[in-house]
Structure 1
Amino acid sequence: MIEARAESRPGSSAPNEDLHRVADTWALVLDGITRYPGDGCVHDVPWYTAALAESIADLIGQPLELAEVLAGAIAAVNARHARTCDLDNPVSPGATAALVRWSGGDLEWLVLGDCSIAWRDRDGKCRIETDDRLARLPGAPAVDLAGVRRWPVAYVAGLRNRDGGYWVASTDPAAAAMARTGTVPVADVADLLLCTDGLTRLVDRYGRPWPDVLALVFDHGVGAAIDLVRGHGDRDPSPGAKRHDDATAVHLRFPESASL
């Protein structure tokens, strides 16, 4: 049996916009994108992430590639709120995503946006899969939007789900085809982590090496890693727009002899 342990912790008193799901043959984490004012949607970000997760769950058991699953899920969510919301709005609610699915000896993975998947093999070697297109953008001067320092809407509109920009799950099913994907033998994977960028701050902002972060999670639990990133945030003299972000992670431990 695969062991699964997960934790999701909000970054503030606001509702947690992250989400995770673990089933018998798949797991996911979603990181809802902080809402922009005037996004044309009557729903909040937690509604979007919950709806996307439900739609992924409906499709992931079918003989589809993970990118096709995600595309179908985005389309299904569109159908749920097209009559009430402006899906052409460039900052319509969305999420970044990390998915894994295992069957027939293979483990498939997908990352879209700034979620991450990392695993340690039977020899102790680590492999990290991320989507760094957002991090590689030059950025723009932040502005105050409803009390949160954000990129201007016009800047986001020119880059979100656009060639040369970055890709997320929102209202364009075609964005799923831009996800990073791959397959590895499941027998090679000992421990696997899916996480949102609220946890990968340990690496990206605070300089912790990925192997150290994985060792902390795999040996001491997801909560220990979230505690560590919270401690860094408390001491950060220049935390940026958010001192703490929602942080979510799923740790999967695969049995050595299972064929799955």
Structure 2
Amino acid sequence: MHITYTAATTAAPNSANEDHLAVGDGWALVLDGAGRYPGETGGCIHPITWVVARLGIHLSSCLSQQPEQPLTTIARSAVEATMADHDATCDLSDPLSPGATGAIVRVRKDRIDWLVVGDCAVVIDRGQDGYTTVIDDRVDHLPDAPIVEGRVRTYSPAYVATVRNRPGGFWVLGAVPAAAEHALVGTLPRPAATQVLLCSDGISRLTERYGWGWQDVMALHQSAGPESLIRAVRESEHNDPDPQRWRGKRHDDATVVVIQVTDA
């Protein structure tokens, strides 16, 4: 079995990049910072980039050093280690404490395992059998969620505090170890897959907002590489005739990793 990786990440215009990617021996991950709301500290003194980086470091370490552990165990261990990094400086009991959505893929000789929390995506190309797509969209199906109109259409912070990292709501990694057990997880036989894409929602908006199919995304990557997907996102955003119709940011950090697997 031979594995190759291609990857790209970039910040939204005029912003710091709160996404994070990493690849290792048979694994890859993408994180997307779940940041602060206007006027809210989330009980934490650290920038979102710090939280996401610490979580990425711990996930990478666990994936490298504990290759046989379930991905939920690895995610829980990484969250606990990230919480310890805050020491006594932060109130991690605050439901708006910053964290990250994430996608993890691990490739073994006989199977591919994945874990997805929040609005990151895993897309598995199964050749003639099509695509297996895993996106945790629970945040888009919250009951009676109040949307605040403003520079960015989003949910009310007071409402998010009642549904974030709670059953019936949605989950993010960072300050609640139990979030790992509420992730979407699964396995496919490895011979069924030719390549796997992981991305933040800054890339998946091509399919969610702009009418692309995942076959279009994969084809563009195949012909022009991962940076071409980011260029396609920015072009779609700039040409959007009515960006206010979407909940969330007009521009977002964009990150993609593609794992290609062949038999040696």
Structure 1 residue 187 displacement after superposition: 2.0
More displaced 10-residue stretch of structure 1: 158-167 or 132-141: 132-141
Secondary structure in 1 matching 2:21: strand
Gaps in structure 1 of 5+ consecutive residues: none
SS at match of 2:104: strand
Q: CA deviation at 1:179?
A: 0.5
Name the residue aligned to 1:10. 11
Give how far 1:150 is off.
3.6
Q: Secondary structure at the match of 1:69?
A: helix
Give the RMSD, CA atoms, in angstroms.
Answer: 1.7
Shift of 1:140: 1.1
1:207 Cα offset (Å): 1.9
Give 1:249's aligned residue.
Answer: 256
Q: 1:59 aligns with which of 59, 62, 66?
A: 62
Letter in structure 1 aligned against 2:14:
S
Give aligned pairs, total.
255
Q: Which residue number in structure 1 is paired with residue 82 of structure 2? A: 77
Report how far residue 18 of structure 1 moved.
0.4
CA displacement 1:95-138 (0-9 Å, x = unmatched): 00000112242211111100000021243622211111112224
Question: Does structure 2 conserve the Cα–Cα contact (< 8 Å) formed by 1:18 and 1:31?
Answer: yes
Q: Could you tell me whether the CA contact under 8 Å between 1:161 and 1:168 is conserved in 2?
A: yes
1:190 and 2:194 correspond: yes
Q: Percent identity?
A: 40
Would the alpha carbon gap of residues 17 and 155 (structure 1) be closer, same or farther in structure 2, given more than 3 Å must change?
same
Tell me if 1:140 matches 2:140: no
More deviation, 213-222/8-17: 213-222
| Counterparts of residues 1-260 of structure 1 (less than 5 Å) | 1-36=2-37, 37-60=40-63, 61-62=65-66, 63-123=68-128, 125-137=130-142, 138-142=144-148, 149-240=153-244, 241-255=248-262, 257-258=263-264
Tell me the TM-score normalized by structure 1: 0.92
Aligned to 1:254, what secondary structure does the other structure show? Answer: strand
Deviations 1:132-185 (A, max 9, x none): 1112224312155xx655422210111101111111112110011011111112
Contact 2:139 2:169 in 1 (8 A): yes
Say whether the 8 Å CA contact 2:44–2:91 is kept in structure 1.
yes
Q: Which moved more, 1:10-19 or 1:147-156?
A: 147-156
Moved over 6 A (4+): none
The structural deviation recorded for 1:220 is 2.6
For residue 226 of structure 1, report the CA deviation from its aligned partner. Answer: 1.4
* TM-score, normalization by structure 2: 0.91
Is residue 218–residue 251 contact of structure 1 (8 Å, CA) maintained in 2? no
- How far apart, CA to CA, are the structure 1 residues paired with 2:18 and 2:98? 11
Q: Gaps spanning 5+ residues in structure 2: where?
A: none
Deviations 1:60-107 (A, max 9, x none): 231311011001100110111041101011111110000011224221
What is the distance in 1 between the residues matched to 2:199 and 2:147?
A: 28
Kept in 1: contact 2:55–2:174 (CA 8 A):
no
